[in-house]
Amino acid sequence: MQKVKISLAGDLGSGKSTVGKILAKKLGAEVYSTGTIQRRIAEEMGMTTLQLNQYMETHPEIDGKIDDGLRALEGEDARLVIDSRMAWHFVPSSFAVYMAADAYVSAERILKAGRSSEPFTSVEEAVRSIADRRASEMRRYGQLYGVNIKDLENYDYVVDTSYVSPETVAAHILAHFQMAQKGRPFARYELCASRLLPAADMREEGDPAFFEREGKYYIARGAASLAQQMRAGKQLLALTRAEEGEPGSAEQLAAWEARTGVRVARRG
Which class for 102: exposed (0-12), middle (13-18), buried (19 or more C-beta within 10 A)? buried
Residue 206 has pLDDT above 50, yes or no: yes
pLDDT at 249: 96
Beta strand 95-100 pairing with 4-10: parallel
Residues of the chain with CATH 3.40.50.300: 4-181
Residue 236, phi then psi, degrees to nearest 5: -110, 130
Residue 79 has pLDDT above 60, yes or no: yes
Residue 51 has a CB neighbour count (10 Å cut-off) of 16
- Spatial distance between the Cα atoms of 28 and 175, rounded to a whole number of angstroms: 16
- Give 181-203 pLDDT, tens digit per residue: 999 999 999 999 999 999 999 99
**Residue 219, helix vs strand vs coil:** strand
Indicate if the pLDDT at residue 135 is higher than 90. no
What is the rounded average pLDDT of the residues 61-86?
Answer: 84
Q: What is the pLDDT of residue 169?
A: 98
Q: Does 2 have pLDDT greater than 60?
A: no
Whether the pLDDT of residue 168 is over 90: the answer is: yes
pLDDT score at 202: 97
Average pLDDT for 129-141: 84
On whether the CB atoms of residues 49 and 118 are closer than 8 A, the answer is yes
Decide the pairing of beta strands 157-160 and 30-33: unpaired
Instruction: List the one residue out of 99, 98, 118 whose CA is nearest residue 108.
Output: 118
Half-sphere exposure of 264 (CA within 13 A, CB side): 23
Pick the more confident residue, 44 or 35. Answer: 44
- Angstrom distance (rounded) from CA 234 to CA 251: 24
Q: Kindly list the distances between the CA atom of residue 215 and the CA atoms of 76, 124, 137, 141, in Å, as whole numbers in the listed order.
A: 35, 16, 16, 20
Residue 126 has pLDDT above 90, yes or no: no
Topology of the domain comprising 4-181: Rossmann fold (3.40.50)
Nearby residues of 92 by Cβ (< 8 Å), 6 or more positions away: 74
Who contacts 95 (Cβ-Cβ below 8 Å, separation ≥6)? 5, 6, 7, 156, 157, 176, 177, 180
Cβ atoms of residues 99 and 16 within 8 Å: yes
pLDDT greater than 60 at residue 1:
no
| Residue 132 reports pLDDT greater than 70 | yes
pLDDT of residue 116: 59
